[in-house]
Amino acid sequence: MKKLALLLVAALALPACAEMSGAQKGALVGAGTGAAAGAIIGSQVKGNRSGHAGTGAVIGALGGAAAGALIGDAMEQKKPAAPQQGGVLQPVPPPGQPAASPPPPTQASVTVPGQYAGDPTRGQFVNGTPYQLKVYVDVDPPRESSAPYLTMSPNDVLPANLDVGAHRVVAIATRDTQLGPRTVGRSDRQLRIDVRAPGWELRFTDGDFR
């Protein structure tokens, strides 16, 4: 009977080691061990009757299974967790640290006509009079209904861009009175833009409107 019990324990213990959780392994081993121990104890009671051996085996199996399941589950929980494979931990920036801003986009340079020093098409009108001037370029104000090229207050200096060549410049001077603006005079001049010159300037004086 003792040899049979030991063989039963070995037979139950071997398959318990394959693909089972700790609780299942503990229950199976505990059941086998308890059954063997119960059978041995039962066979020694009351004249080695077979009935007592079977009863002892059943009781031992139940008790051993319960105890083995508890012990196996406790041992399973104490096992360290297996490290995760395949993942790469990325550093996390500390809280409150702003993320790096992307670089500003590259801005293309813009070329504006007349921006270079010495450009012959770049020049200025100068009002050296105490009058308001309405300046017309390449138009005849009395014959054409058009807005002035520019309007100048006394002592104004206004930049302008004119192409190379000859231009007709007409300026009408007015002065404010209590009865409204009155015409002082008219200036009709030729302005020639020389391509070899570093720029140009046209100055209006009081004598231009007499």
Instruction: Answer yes or no: do 204 and 144 share one domain.
Output: yes
Tokens read off for 171: 């300026």
Element housing 52 (H / E): helix 50-78
Together in a domain, 205 and 127: yes
Answer yes or no: do 60 and 129 share one domain: no
Q: Give me the pLDDT at residue 210, please.
A: 80
pLDDT tens readout for residues 33-81: 655 555 555 555 544 455 555 555 555 555 555 555 565 566 666 655 5
Which of these ranges, 69-73, 119-123, 152-156, 159-163, has the smallest mean pLDDT?
69-73
Check whether 90 has a pLDDT greater than 60.
Answer: yes
6-10, 106-110, 138-142, 145-149: range with lowest mean pLDDT: 106-110
Whether 48 and 126 share a structural domain: no
Question: Please, which contacts does 3-10 make with residues 24 or more away whose CB atoms are closer than 8 Å?
Answer: 4/39, 5/35, 5/36, 5/37, 5/39, 5/40, 6/36, 8/32, 8/35, 8/36, 9/33, 9/36
Those residues whose C-beta lies under 8 Å from the C-beta of residue 207, and which sit 6 or more positions away, are: none
Which structural domain, as residue segments, surrounds residue 135? 122-209
Nearest to 11, CA basis, from 35, 39, 40: 35
Other CB atoms within a 10 A radius of the CB of residue 170 amount to: 19
Q: Is residue 166 part of a domain?
A: yes
How many domains is the chain built from?
2
Same domain, 73 and 138: no
Is 117 inside a domain boundary? no
CATH code of 149's domain: 2.60.40
pLDDT tens digits, one per residue of 17-29: 455 565 565 555 5
- Report the C-alpha gap between 150 and 135 in whole angstroms: 5
Token pair of 95 as six digits = 């809280």
142 band by pLDDT with thresholds 50, 70 and 90? confident
39 touches 57 (CB < 8 A):
yes
Q: In the chain, what percentage of residues exceed pLDDT 70?
A: 43
Does some domain include residue 15?
A: yes
Answer whether residue 19 is part of any domain: yes
The verdict on residue 91 lying in a domain is no
**Residue 95's pLDDT is what?**
66
Asked if residue 127 has pLDDT above 90, the reply is yes
Report the greatest alpha carbon distance in the chain: 156
pLDDT, tens digit, 9 for 90 and up, residues 171-183: 999 999 999 999 9
CA angle, 187 then 191 then 196, to 5°: 160
CA distance 11 to 139: 119
Contact 131, 209 (CB under 8 A): yes
pLDDT tier at 13 (50, 70, 90 boundaries)? Answer: very low
